[in-house]
Amino acid sequence: MTRTLTVARVVWLDVIRRKDFYVLLILMALLLVALVSMNLFGLGGVTAYVADIGLMMSWVFTWILAISIGSRLLPQEESRGTIFSLLAKPVTRLELILGKWLGAWSIVSVATVLFYGLVFAVTALHGGRFPGWIVLQAIVLHAMVVAIVCAAALMFSTRLNSDAAATLTGALTATSFLLVPRIPEFVAQAGGLRGGLLLFLYNLLPHFEIFDLRMRVLHDYGAVSAATFMMVIGYGLLVTIGFLGLGWIGYRGKQFTRGSLSGY
């Protein structure tokens, strides 16, 4: 456990040095300031509009950040040759993967809290109010999505370079978020073999839509029940463990030679 935490700490130091989430935070602040400065279409509903756009940007920015960080951590260790010193400490490959995931997830989760805090601070200045419990649930479930995305990025990066891992992670997670909720509609129209294939994908791909509580926050629908909330958390943990497990399986038998690492 200590070695896992040490690896996570190194991830934090590397990300702080690169200033990744500071750039995204500044960009989001600029966009929110621009939105608040305008009375869009003269409708006067600026507060709700800013909150809606701000929360959407929070999802997009943390998604990009999770993919960017998660997909490069292992390949950069291999390209630098530091993978040899890491595994010689000794740090097991499972500890390395868990430490990298923990570091990436904790960083993006902190960024998530900052993004939400910025959105709610701006809307509060214009009279917007949000109930506490549903906001807390929304942040926790958003962090759960971040955990899944970071785990998927690490899984792909165990066998691919950072660019390929980022591309596949982006394609997988975007498909899961945008397409999976609509698969039941397609199944009803397709039928037969195509319908069976769609159902297979529906059960195989992650269901990110169940973690998205933005509409409940914006329209004050109230917090979800404790039982439902814990079931969603449990599902997220299972998916995260599944991706990390596949990553460990793909990484534990990987052989490293110094000459072969230059291509990363």
Annotate 25-66 with DSSP letters as a single string.
HHHHHHHHHHHHT--GGG-S-HHHHHHHHHHHHHHHHHHHHH
- Helix or strand holding residue 199 (H, E): helix 192-204
pLDDT given at position 105: 96
pLDDT given at position 35: 66
Predicted TM-score (pTM) of this structure: 0.88
Greatest alpha-carbon pair distance for the chain in Å reads 64
Q: What does the pLDDT look like over 208-229, one tens digit per residue? A: 999 999 888 888 788 889 999 9
Residue 108 confidence class, pLDDT cut points 50, 70, 90: very high
Length of the chain as a residue count? 264
Q: Rounded mean pLDDT of the chain?
A: 84
Q: Which of 102, 108, 112, 107 is nearest to 136 (CA)?
A: 112
**Which range among 6-15, 22-31, 98-107, 111-120 shows the weakest confidence by mean pLDDT?**
22-31
Give buried/exposed letters for 189-215 (b at 16+ CB in 10 A, else e): eeeeeeeeebeebbeebbbbebbbbbe
DSSP string, 157-202: HTTS-HHHHHHHHHHHHHHHHHTGGGHHHHHHHH-HHHHHHHHHHH
Mean predicted confidence (pLDDT) in 17-33: 77
Q: Which of 219, 25, 24, 16 is nearest to 118 (CA)?
A: 25
Residue 43 confidence class, pLDDT cut points 50, 70, 90: very low
pLDDT given at position 45: 54
Q: Is 90 exceeded by the pLDDT of residue 17?
A: no
176 vs 41: which has the higher pLDDT: 176
